[in-house]
A = this chain, B = another copy of it.
Amino acid sequence: MGLDLGAILKTGGLAVSDRTAIVSINIFIALLCSCIVIGHLLEGNRWVNESITALVMGLLTGGVILLATNGTNSRILVFSEDLFFIYLLPPIIFNAGFQVKKKQFFRNFMTIILFGAVGTLISFVIITLGAIGLFKKLDVGPLELGDYLAIGAIFSATDSVCTLQVLNQDETPLLYSLVFGEGVVNDATSVVLFNAIENLDMGHFDAFVLLNFIGKFLYLFFTSTILGVATGLLSAYVIKKLCFARHSTDREVSIMMLMAYLSYMLSMLLDLSGILTVFFCGIVMSHYTWHNVTESSRVTTKHTFATLSFIAEIFLFLYVGMDALDIEKWKLASSSPKEPIALSAIILGLVMVGRAAFVFPLSFLSNLSKKEARPKISFKQQVIIWWAGLMRGAVSIALAYNKFTASGHTAVRVNAIMITSTVIVVLFSTMVFGFLTKPLLTLLIPPRTGPNTSSLLSSQSILDPLLTSMMGSDFDVGQISSPQYNLQFILTAPTRSVHRLWRKFDDRFMRPMFGGRGFVPFVPGSPVEPSDPDSHLGTVTETDHS
């Protein structure tokens, strides 16, 4: 900027210190707009979704910049973990919690925890062991035990963002909540795993360290959840008490946005899992706070959170696409161009095996615990669950950058190969697997009620048994529950009775204090928006109280 004095004279705005930052912001915003417009135009297309559009746009832009700068630079912004973990991830996860169908989520709570925590650990062990066994055959370079463990953690992180775009909450609400809920717990688990590995004393790895790690994970899980719930309840209480007399939309929306972000940052400050905290904060806010605000605040918050999440998602995929063409890494890794590709293929194989290793056994367990009258989980349905979590995304990239580079730049060849392989895995899984998801879903769940696949009823009628049977916590059959099988009883009874107790507690103490829809008596036939985060709850309340 110092060279450009003539330009400063013309400047109407202040001369901002870094002109390249302005150029980058302009390009990024223009690209975001293009992605949204193209995404809209391709909406009817059965193969392409917004993630793939953003990835391709990022790749193209990276290519153009590469050509324009004669192959010296493809990235406009240097990848920053802070950008990802402080600005982009919170709105995505919060919105997920805010919009998730809570009944579905809590009905499958135990399954989600099993899949998300135990499943991720199984996947982590298999990928780590596989990497130790298979990488040695390739001339990758010196990798230590810590590196292999980190690779296991990096590639255990499924991409909930991409999965959520492929599945539709309204068409397959139960499948959506299961896969998504697993994704959130999976994100938290893999990040905790990764950090624990970074600080493990490899010389003294024994049972005590393992127990210590498990204890810490449980501690993290519960404290993070409690913090999120507490922040959400505080926001509900503040808005209910203070703004009762005179509602002010700006203040209400501000408080909701700020408190949501505060929950995430407080969690970061206290070294907890911000992902879990902000997710539960979102759930509590949609259950209590959202019902205490004015009608316009409800519309505003619902769409604002969705929009911010939408922009953050597109931004992420754009960035990953652009980052894939970073010439610096490719040059370092290209002394043997086959290696990253071979490595990526191995990792992709391990990812698929690792996921199969917990999805199918857990489904089998669920089938064992099922009453005979209810349909078993078919092989096709298991495949959908398995497939939905195969994609790898920004969390893997962020963790890989954290492990194998210092602030986005890498100089050692083995690190360059690992980063490149991660990028290939993310690109391939997102584009190829993402590309195939829509057709696969259509193939595995053939539309029953004519050609309209998006019918809520048809999808639910097929998938409902699949998922509710996993836990058996169906409210409709609550009255006729006879413990035919011990395993089923162990799994279903606590969930159901806890849910019952919770509903009583909620109606008697929580709602009078913190507000919420249940506090206002549910009127059947009252105008409820189809995408209302609580819309199923009202029906449950009715069924439950009848």
Contact = CB atoms under 8 A, between A and B. Distances in A.
Interface of A: 5, 7-18, 21-23, 25-26, 29-30, 32-33, 36-37, 39-41, 43, 81-82, 85-86, 188, 191-192, 194-196, 198-199, 216, 220, 224, 238, 242-243, 246, 248-251, 253-255, 257-259, 261-262, 265-269, 271-276, 296-297, 299-300, 303-304, 306-307, 310-311, 398-399, 402, 407
A10 B271 contact: yes
B220 A265 contact: no
Contact of A16 (B7, B82, B249, B275): B82
Contact of A269 (B26, B242, B399): B26
A13 B257 contact: no
This protein's copies in its complex: 2
Contacts of A25: 86, 265
A26 B265 contact: yes
A250 B306 contact: yes
A223 to B, nearest CB: 9
Given A26-B266, A271-B11, A273-B13, A303 B249 contact: yes
Contacts of A86: 16, 21-22, 25
A300 B311 contact: no
A273 B402 CA distance: 39
Nearest to A23: B269
A220 B10 contact: yes
Given A37-B255, A254-B307, A300-B300, 19 more contacts: A5-B199, A9-B199, A11-B195, A11-B271, A12-B274, A13-B267, A13-B268, A16-B82, A18-B82, A23-B269, A25-B265, A33-B258, A40-B242, A40-B251, A41-B242, A43-B246, A250-B303, A258-B311, A304-B304
CB-CB nearest 8 A-B residue pairs: A12-B273, A300-B303, A13-B274, A9-B199, A10-B271, A253-B307, A299-B299, A29-B262
Contact of A311 (B18, B254, B307): B254
A33 B263 CA distance: 12
Nearest to A89: B13
Contacts of A258: 29, 32-33, 36, 311
Contacts of A272: 10, 12-13
A171 to B, nearest CB: 16
Contacts of A310: 250-251, 254
Contact of A85 (B13, B26, B269): B13
Contacts of A196: 9
Contacts of A296: 299, 303
A139 to B, nearest CB: 31
Contacts of A265: 22, 25-26, 29
A29 to B, nearest CB: 5
A195 to B, nearest CB: 5
A83 to B, nearest CB: 10
Contact of A14 (B220, B255, B402): B402
A303 B33 contact: no
A12 B275 contact: yes
A40 B81 contact: no
A268 B16 contact: yes
A467 to B, nearest CB: 27
A111 B7 CA distance: 30
Given A250-B307, A255-B36, A12 B192 contact: yes
A89 to B, nearest CB: 9
A12 B276 contact: yes
